[in-house]
Amino acid sequence: MAENITTDTIQDRAVLIGLITREETVEQVDDYLNELAFLAETAGISSVKWFTQKMEKPDSKTFIGKGKAEEVLAYVKENEIDVIIFDDDLTPSQMRNLEKIFDRKIYDRSLLILDIFLLRAR
């Protein structure tokens, strides 16, 4: 009897994070996160949950505030999330700090788009 072999690939699971500043409305950030979810799906990453935070400007160390980072970390641990994707570009130091906090792969929008181009180039 023939054995069935599945070729489904296991997708990474991600949370998406967007910042609502004075210049952006909640609706605009939701639109950006919808687009980001589509980009993630294109890269083979399944978006599980979105987080948003209202701030005047991004935190220089972690982009999001300490309390929001703790909230996201708790969710990430409880739900076995593989990837955290930020809607905005992160500085190299923010990226390093976030990788230390979450111990997961961190993407910003630009890095995600570059990964998609890399996947398509293969």
Q: What is the pLDDT of residue 122?
A: 64
Mean pLDDT in the chain? 91
pLDDT digits (tens, 9 = 90+) for 39-85: 999 999 999 999 999 999 999 999 999 999 999 999 999 999 999 99
Q: Decide: pTM greater than 0.85.
A: yes
Q: What is the pLDDT of residue 5?
A: 45
Q: Specify burial of residue 105 (Cβ count, 10 A radius: 0-12, 13-18, 19+).
A: middle
Strands of 105-108's sheet in order across: 45-54, 12-20, 83-86, 105-108
Asked if the model's pLDDT at residue 102 lies above 80, the reply is yes
Residue % of the chain over a pLDDT of 70: 91
Mean pLDDT of all residues in 94-99? 96
Q: Which residue has the higher pLDDT, 42 or 6?
A: 42
